[in-house]
Structure 1
């Protein structure tokens, strides 16, 4: 049997392209992702021509930060350039303040013997500190081993971090074994998402819950010794979380592209994670868009 011609994926249902970003979001993503700087910059300039930065949502603001970091003064001739730079500085400042608020708590966890793994945006910053100019991370997502969950919980509570749900800490502490994650706040900028499982309940795999730690690498985050997921895990986590939350942000696609362009993704490991986590459909949607 001979192979037939490869059919180009389009936007028609039931192709994966039916779920791709469209319109102004697609234009912003092309500006952030296309490898050719001239073409990407053209998309950025056209978006700025047709849209008002002040009238779009935080989802677009996150991508605009990446675009501002990528092109810098190449967009200086555009009337929106001062606003673009101001937006990047404002979001960078908020990210830095969130990181600064979280640092003492993360250090206290590590000092108490907790293995802390940064995931999502924080992991990208730990791998490459310069990424914080273009990657918004107003909340710090951390993953701890289930056996360390109680210690991590106590560290946050002892330092006056408040549980976002308002549920009694005493009650939650007795239920930690059944909670996948919880959100803590402190002050105006402190925002930590504490996870003992990296994936949603529909994406469970006990074997991979152990393997993600075995594949993890050591890194440093603002002077704190942490772990970061392997490139394959960073991609899988981005796709798994992004597929569930794609309506609120799209910079997870940029995170995937960064991991791919780094050339360190073990694709056999990635395929194994996708199968174990049952995320083949969102992975196919994301990768067909990125490799279009």
Structure 2
């Protein structure tokens, strides 16, 4: 089975399948992966999937001598996440006292709303979303709580085109955001993000996070940008993001509002000009995991017109010859306009 999107190795595919598929598929993939690698010599990109692998194998009651090793990795992940909850709990309480509403993003949102086990996914960073009106106050609260940054304080109402990075005394990173998607009218786009947010629990802390639909759409862009970097770098691809995406899709599939969620995902991909990264990601996930994506989703994505913005912004697959030719023409026109000014 060739990869639709990423140059994954055979062992990486088998690891992802063992960590995410149901019993028969997971068992077969686990046996293939186990026979291909030395579990004591796993590269970092694969190591981060091992906790989810343990959770899935244990759920399906798969017995193997390597399970004790995987359980140890799972316990370390769980413990590391619990250690990070104390400063997060204090910070969220301080923000709540200051009447600053917060949405969880990325790792925090995944663990809170998508992964069924707090030890299945390592929290490598904190990402918090606040409103434009609260960004200055959130900045001040973070500083008061001991989080340090070299950035200048934003003013109330400032839009952060890039997140502000903070570090705690242990150099753990937190990113403060107040924007995610871009589409006019922007106030409506911002409002939708908050209206679609979901209430959940993170280590018994009541929180709100991005909806799985918004998480998946945002992750599709991150994955596309990572694909571009990977083609230029010898470093292994962080395959954990594909596990994250598959978990998000399964949450949407199992939702009581699944049909509405899929419709919203497609309409937002079109409105925010994210059709290509979403389409590429869903095709990859379907090939890797045989997910229960409705049969009308991918055909609809393929029929959607691709804007000039997408052609200029996102990485195109080598096989997309027509789109690549069109993108080259658009770039040529753009250069000509710049020269003519």
TM-score range, shorter chain: 0.7 to 0.9
TM-score, normalization by structure 2: 0.70
Deviation, 1:222, is 4.0
Alignment of 1:209-224 (within 5 A): 209-224=190-205
Kept after mapping to 2: 8 A contact 1:20/1:289: no
- Aligned residue for 2:99, secondary structure, equals coil
Q: In structure 2, what is the equivalent of residue 42 of structure 1?
A: 28
Match among 192, 201, 207 for residue 226 of structure 1: 207
Alpha-carbon distance in structure 2 between the residues aligned to 1:87 and 1:279 = 36
CA contact (8 A) 1:65 1:133 kept: yes
User: Contact (CA 8 Å) 2:77, 2:121: kept in 1 or not?
Assistant: no
Aligned partners of 2:195, 2:88: CA distance in 1, in Å?
25
Q: Is the 8 A contact 1:115 1:144 kept in 2?
A: yes
1:5 is matched with none
2-structure distance, mates of 1:18, 1:125: 25
Q: 1:99/1:241 Cα in 2 relative to 1: closer, same or farther (>3 Å)? A: farther
The 1-side partners of 2:41 and 2:144 are apart by 41
- Name the CA distance, whole Å, in 2 between partners of 1:182 and 1:53: 38
TM-score (norm 1): 0.80
- Matched with 2:70 is 84
Q: Secondary structure at the match of 1:162?
A: coil
Contact 1:231 1:259 in 2 (8 A): yes
Q: Matched residues in 2 for 1:100 and 1:91: separation?
A: 15
Cα RMSD between the aligned structures?
2.7
Instruction: Find out whether 1:279 has 2:274 as its counterpart.
Output: yes
Q: Does 1:252 align with 2:233?
A: no
Stretches of 4+ aligned residues off by more than 6 angstroms: none
SS of alignment partner, residue 99 of structure 1: helix
- More displaced stretch, 233-242 vs 264-273: 233-242
Question: In 2, distance between residues paired with 1:63 and 1:261?
Answer: 22
Please say if residues 92 and 132 of structure 1, whose CA atoms lie closer than 8 Å, have aligned partners that are also in contact.
Answer: yes
Is residue 95–residue 136 contact of structure 1 (8 Å, CA) maintained in 2?
A: yes
Q: Partner of 2:118: helix, strand, or coil?
A: helix
* Inter-partner Cα distance in structure 1 for 2:21 and 2:70: 20
Give the aligned partner of residue 180 of structure 1.
162
**Aligned with 2:174 (options 178, 192, 202):** 192
Change (3 A) 1:244 1:96: farther
Higher relative contact order (CA 8 A, sep 6+): 1
The answer on whether the counterparts of 1:235 and 1:259 sit within 8 Å (CA) in structure 2 is no
Structure 1 gap segments, 5+ residues each: 1-9
Q: Is the 8 A contact 1:140 1:192 kept in 2?
A: yes
Aligned with 2:14 (options 23, 27, 47): 27
Are residue 270 (structure 1) and residue 265 (structure 2) matched?
Answer: yes
Gaps of at least 5 residues in structure 2 are 228-236, 288-341
Change (3 A) 1:214 1:154: same
- Greater Rg by CA: 2
- Which of 103, 117, 131 aligns to 1:117? It is 103
